[in-house]
Amino acid sequence: MEFELQYNDIKSNARAGLITTGHGVIETPIFMPVGTQGTVKAVHMTELKEDINAPVILGNTYHLYLRPGLEILEKAGGLHQFNSWDRAILTDSGGFQVFSLSDNRKLQEEGATFRSHIDGSKHLFTPENVMDMQRTIGADIIMAFDECCPGDADYAYAKKSLGLTEHWLDRCLHRFHSTEPKYGYAQSLFPIVQGCVYPDLRKQAAENVASKEADGNAIGGLAVGEPTEKMYEMIEIVNEILPKDKPCYLMGVGTPVNILEAIERGVDMFDCIMPTRNGRNGQLFTQYGTINIRNKKWEADFSPVDPDTHSYVDTLYSKAYLHHLIKADEILALQIASIHNLAFYLWLVREARTHIIEGDFSTWKTRMVCQLSNRL
C-alpha cells in the first residue's frame, strides 16, 4: 500500500491524499461503508460502485469467521471473490467485539475467548490467529487485534487495557511479517492507538504505534461513551505524534459533524454503521440537517431528499414517497434510505477534499457544521 499526501489545508490539519491498494486508488478523506458480514445492509454491490461510488468497504473478522467461515472464504478465493467486490476492503480484527460483546467474552493475556452469538460455542481469538484469519479473508487493509476500552473506564483499567493492546500488537506484527498474503496482492497492517480519554496513555500509545512504521495507523476506542469534546481532544493529541506521511483512520466515527471535525484535526479515513442503521430507522442525513422521514410533515413533500448528493434515489424518489414506504414497512424504504445516507456521506468527504484542495476548507467546514446540526 502506498500513501501520497497531496494537499494540506493552510488553516488546519486537514489534508487530501491518495491511498493505492491492490484493488484500486482511494482518494482521502474517505468514508468507508460498513459491510460487516460481507454485505452493506440493504445495498447491492452495483449501487455501492455505480451510484455511491465507494472505493473501499469494510468487513468484520469476528462475524465472517463465524459465518460463512474461513474454509468457505478460502475456497472462494477470498472475500473479494465471494461477494463480487473488486475494490478495496478493510477488515476490523474483532477488537471492537471485545468491547461490544463484553458479556460473552473472557479476556486474558493469550487472547479473547468469545461465545458465539449464533450458537453459544466458544472461540479463542489471539493476535496470531486473527492475523491468519485476515490473511484468509483477503482484505487489503487489516487491523491489529486490540482491546477497545470503554469510554468511561477508570485510569487503572485503561492503563492495564493499553498494556494488553500493546503486547498484542507486537505479536500481531511478528505474525504478520512471518506470513504471506494468499491471493496474489499485498496486504497492509494498521496498528491501533488506544488509551481511553487519558492524555498520557494516548501519548504513550501513539508513540508506540508510530515506532512500528506501519503502512497506516488507526485511532480506536473513541465514540464509545466518552464526551464528544474528549474525543476531539484525544484525536488532537494522537495526531501530533502519528507520522504525517501515513494515513490516519478514526475507527467507528461517526456523525457528519464528527467527521468534519476529525478531518480538520488530520484524520483521513472513517467508518460507521450510522448511515445504514439510522437510515433503516427513518433518519436521513442531508447537507441542511437531519430528517425523520416518518414525521407527518413529509407526507405531501414531493421534493427530493437532497439532490446535491447526485444519488439516483434522490433523482427518482420524493420525501413523500419515502415517507409512505417507511410508514408501510416496505423493504424498499430501507434500501432507498441506506443508499441516500451512504451517498450523502461519500458526497460530504468528497466536498471536504475539494475544499481542502481549493484552500477554503475551514470556511466551508464552519458553515457546514452549522447546517448539519439542524433537525429539519
For 256, the enclosing helix (H) or strand (E) is helix 256-264
Give the Cα separation of 192 and 206 in Å (integer): 9
Give the Cα separation of 74 and 69 in Å (integer): 9
Q: What is the tally of helices (H) and strands (E) in the chain? A: 15, 17
Is the CB of residue 41 less than 8 Å from the CB of residue 280? yes
State yes or no: is 92 an active-site residue.
yes
Nearest one of 263, 251, 198, 195 to 223, comparing CA atoms: 251
Burial class (CB in 10 A: 0-12, 13-18, 19+), 122: exposed
Q: Count CB neighbours of 188 within 10 A.
A: 21
Marked catalytic residue, from 51, 140, 215, 271? 271
Give the Cα separation of 272 and 250 in Å (integer): 10
State yes or no: is 9 an active-site residue.
no
User: Which residue in this structure is represented by grid cell 460507521?
Assistant: 272
Marked catalytic residue, from 92, 146, 268, 314? 92
Residues that are catalytic: 92, 271
